[in-house]
Amino acid sequence: MIQIIVSVFDRASNAFGRPIFVPAIGAAIRSFQDEVNREAQDNTMYHHPDDYDLFELGTYNDEDGSIETLDKPKQIAIGKQLKS
């Protein structure tokens, strides 16, 4: 099965977080939106949504272990736009 590789970019630290593998872009956006709106004292995405964006990095094939990366990460969600 082909999995989509995504990562959250933190503008404050100018770095991408650890990549995660999801079955579809929509699932990644939903999870990112849930985290941006999860109120918790230690949740920096909730307190600073302007600092975080979600990017697609490529694909992973779990049948043969191959990874294909995009030439350039593709922005798929902006934290501040998903804050409710």
Q: Which pLDDT belongs to residue 22? A: 98
**Tens-digit pLDDT profile for residues 20-59:** 999 999 999 999 999 999 999 999 999 999 999 999 999 9
Confidence of residue 62 (pLDDT cuts 50, 70, 90): very high
**pLDDT > 70: percent of the chain:** 100
Mean of pLDDT over the chain: 97
Q: How far is CA 83 from CA 8, 14, 22, 37, 60, in A?
A: 15, 21, 21, 6, 29
Q: Which residue has the tokens 């920096």?
A: 44
**3-class SS letters over 28-51:** HHHHHHHHHCCCCCCCHHHHCHHH
pTM across the whole model: 0.95
Answer for the pair 75, 30: CB distance below 8 angstroms, yes or no. no
Answer for the pair 36, 46: CB distance below 8 angstroms, yes or no. yes
